[in-house]
Structure formats: structure tokens, C-alpha cells
């Protein structure tokens, strides 16, 4: 890892309080990974032998239901830790991580987790902050699936994606990573047919524009209103 510039980690929350020499030591123990879109980084239930930091790209976190269905629980953005099973006191990964776009990550053996937690100022705080946020996001998603009407769930899911990764264009806000209607179906616990019907209606209303793998939100305020409709 000697060729990886220390400035890539400077300012990232897990390492923002560290000197360059400490970051150099962290990089010397890391392994660099490049993943194509849809590549599986690790599977739910797999032995958790490494923990990760996403440098570039986006990841989907997927969990299987007892019935065998898959739910997309959340997305992970650049600069975030993931695969942090040790923070949950687990020796297996609780979910599957899949590259939503071409991605680059660093990883370290889990045996280094205690050293990172005790030795590097800010690492423990950021790890548990990240864990808390993830658990909150997962609880929010599951609550929506259990209590909200379908249109409200789908609107909320699209809003979360543009909040996390949206980039402004002349026409609106585009989700920065590829997303299909099947992905949205897996995020909201509804059928592909229902998602397609809703997006088509929103397109006719000028709220969104979608292609096979990209979504552009042109009227985010109307999407917010849809996400707040009761019933």
C-alpha cells in the first residue's frame, strides 16, 4: 500500500484526528479492493474476516427474509466504514454487501479491530456513530414497510437516495449510482409491477424521469409531499 497517498484518508471521519504518520501505518496494513458494479463484497452469514472503508462508489446492503426474499436495507456512500461485524460482537456478516456502482475500498483483518479501537483517536467514536446511524436507517425502512402505503414508501426510498447521493443537473437531481425498478421493489417490499406503475405515473406528472438504470427527480418538493401523505 506504499503507493496509496495518505491524503486519501485525511479528513475522513474515522481518521480525521490522526497525524500523517498514523495514517501511513494504517495504510500499510490495508488491502485495496476494486469492485465492478453488482460485485458481491461479502455475503450474509459469511465469516467476518475483514472490515472495510469505502473510498469510491456506492454499496447496497441486502438482507434475506425468512421467506427467502431479499430486502435492500440501505446504501453506503464513500468515506464510510462497512462490514464492521466486530462492532456488533459478531463473527459473521449480518447482511450482504453488493457494489451499486464501480467501487474502491480498503480492508483490514478483523484481528486489527481492537488495535484500531484503542490506538487511533476518533476511530471508536466514528465506528459506533456509524453503527447507530445504520441501525436507525434499517429500523426506519422496516417501519415504513410495515406501516406505510406503497406510494409513500417508494417516494421515501427515492428521497433517501437523492439525499445520500444526489447530484444536481440542469433538469433536476440525479441519483448518482445505477438503480433499477427491481432495486426499488427490493427496497420497499412491493412488486416490480407496482413500482413500474408508480414511476410511470410520476413521469407523466413530470416529477421524475427514469431510464433502465437511472432516476432523475425533477420536482423533489412534490416527491416530499407524496412521502408525507397518510394512509
- HEC string of 171-229? CCEECCCCCCHHHHHHHHCCCHHHHHHHHHHHHHCCCEEECCCCEEECCHHHHHHHHHC
String of DSSP letters for 19-38: -HHHHHHHHHT-EEEEE-TT
pLDDT at 212: 77
Q: What is the mean pLDDT of the chain?
A: 90
Mean pLDDT within 185-198: 93
Task: Give CA torsion, residues 66, 86, 96, 10, to 10 deg.
Answer: 150
**Helices 123-147, 150-165: crossing angle, 10 deg rounding:** 160
Closest CA relative to residue 211, chosen from 168, 179, 167, 182? 179
pLDDT at 2: 44
Q: What is the pLDDT of residues 146-163, one digit of tens each?
A: 888 999 999 999 999 998
> Is residue 168 exposed (0-12), middle (13-18) or buried (19+ Cβ within 10 Å)?
exposed
The mean-pLDDT minimum among 4-8, 55-59, 173-177 falls in 4-8
Higher pLDDT, 36 or 1: 36
pTM of the model: 0.86
**Are residues 23 and 6 in contact, defined by beta-carbon separation less than 8 angstroms?**
yes
Q: 3: pLDDT confidence band, cut at 50, 70 and 90?
A: low
pLDDT at 1: 42
Mean pLDDT within 190-197: 94
Which of the residue ranges 8-17, 35-44, 127-136, 144-153 has the most confident prediction, judged by mean pLDDT? 35-44
Sign of CA dihedral 76, 80, 82, 85: negative
- φ, ψ for residue 199, nearest 5 deg: -65, -40
**Are residues 76 and 20 in contact, defined by beta-carbon separation less than 8 angstroms?**
no
Taking the C-alpha atoms of residue 8 and residue 214, their distance in angstroms, rounded to an integer, is 28
Q: What is the pLDDT of residues 16-53, one digit of tens each?
A: 888 888 898 899 999 999 999 999 999 999 999 999 99
Q: How many other CB atoms sit within 10 Å of the CB of residue 182?
A: 13
Taking the C-alpha atoms of residue 86 and residue 158, their distance in angstroms, rounded to an integer, is 31
Domains and CATH numbers, the chain: 6-145 (2.60.120.10), 148-228 (1.10.10.10)
pLDDT at 230: 61
Mean pLDDT within 104-121: 95
Amino acid at each position: 500500500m506504499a503507493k496509496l497517498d495518505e491524503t486519501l484518508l485525511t479528513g475522513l471521519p474515522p481518521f480525521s484526528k490522526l497525524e500523517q504518520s498514523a495514517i501511513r501505518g494504517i495504510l500499510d496494513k490495508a488491502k485495496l479492493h476494486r469492485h465492478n458494479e453488482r460485485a458481491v463484497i461479502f455475503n450474509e452469514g459469511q465469516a467476518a474476516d475483514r472490515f472495510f472503508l469505502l473510498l469510491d462508489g456506492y454499496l447496497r446492503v441486502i438482507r434475506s427474509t425468512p421467506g427467502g426474499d431479499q430486502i435492500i436495507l440501505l446504501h453506503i456512500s464513500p468515506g464510510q466504514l462497512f462490514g464492521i461485524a466486530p462492532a456488533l460482537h459478531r463473527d459473521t456478516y449480518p447482511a450482504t454487501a453488493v457494489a451499486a456502482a464501480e467501487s474502491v475500498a480498503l480492508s483490514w483483518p478483523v484481528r486489527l479491530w481492537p488495535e484500531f479501537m484503542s490506538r487511533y483517536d476518533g476511530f471508536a467514536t466514528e465506528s459506533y456513530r456509524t453503527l447507530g446511524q445504520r441501525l436507525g436507517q434499517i429500523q426506519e425502512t422496516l417501519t415504513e414497510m410495515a406501516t406505510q402505503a406503497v406510494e409513500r414508501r417508494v417516494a421515501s426510498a427515492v428521497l433517501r437516495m437523492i439525499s445520500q447521493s444526489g447530484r444536481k443537473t440542469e433538469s433536476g437531481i440525479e441519483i448518482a449510482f445505477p438503480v433499477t425498478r427491481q432495486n426499488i421493489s427490493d427496497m420497499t417490499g412491493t412488486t416490480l409491477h407496482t413500482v413500474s406503475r408508480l414511476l410511470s405515473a410520476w413521469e407523466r406528472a413530470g416529477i421524475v424521469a427514469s431510464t433502465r438504470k437511472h432516476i432523475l427527480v425533477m420536482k423533489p418538493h412534490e416527491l416530499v409531499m407524496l412521502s408525507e401523505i397518510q394512509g
